Amino acid sequence: MIKIKKYKNRKLYNTETGTYLNFTGVQEMIQSDVDFVIVDARTKNDVTASVLTEMVCQNLRKAKNSPELVVLKAVLKNNSSLDGQLSFNFT
């Protein structure tokens, strides 16, 4: 599993290759089924979910076709505290 360090300035550092990554690099790793974890460089806490959520939000802002409001509202309604797993139960 590849360890990626996230620094305070939002830079992502791949400890295996010794190079910095941007969101596109992380997305390429996901598409290639590469296992990785993103940790806060200072605290060593796992921040993978937080970074991936940030990537999803960034991609949504850039998208030509945003998800329908009913889908977004359902996600927020079913997960109002956002402290659990997303459940895609839209029936």
Instruction: Express each pLDDT in 4-55 by its tens digit.
Output: 999 998 899 999 999 999 999 999 999 999 999 999 999 999 999 999 988 8
* Residue-wise burial string across 17-36, b where 16 or more C-beta atoms lie within 10 A, e elsewhere: eeeebeeeebeebeeeeeeb
Q: Residue 79: what pLDDT?
A: 63
Q: How many whole angstroms separate alpha carbon 39 and alpha carbon 3?
A: 7
Residue of higher predicted confidence among 91 and 86: 86
Q: How many whole angstroms separate alpha carbon 87 and alpha carbon 20?
A: 33
- 11 Cβ contact partners less than 8 Å away, ≥ 6 residues apart: 20
pTM assigned to the model:
0.74
Q: Residue 91: what pLDDT?
A: 41
Q: How many whole angstroms separate alpha carbon 31 and alpha carbon 6?
A: 20
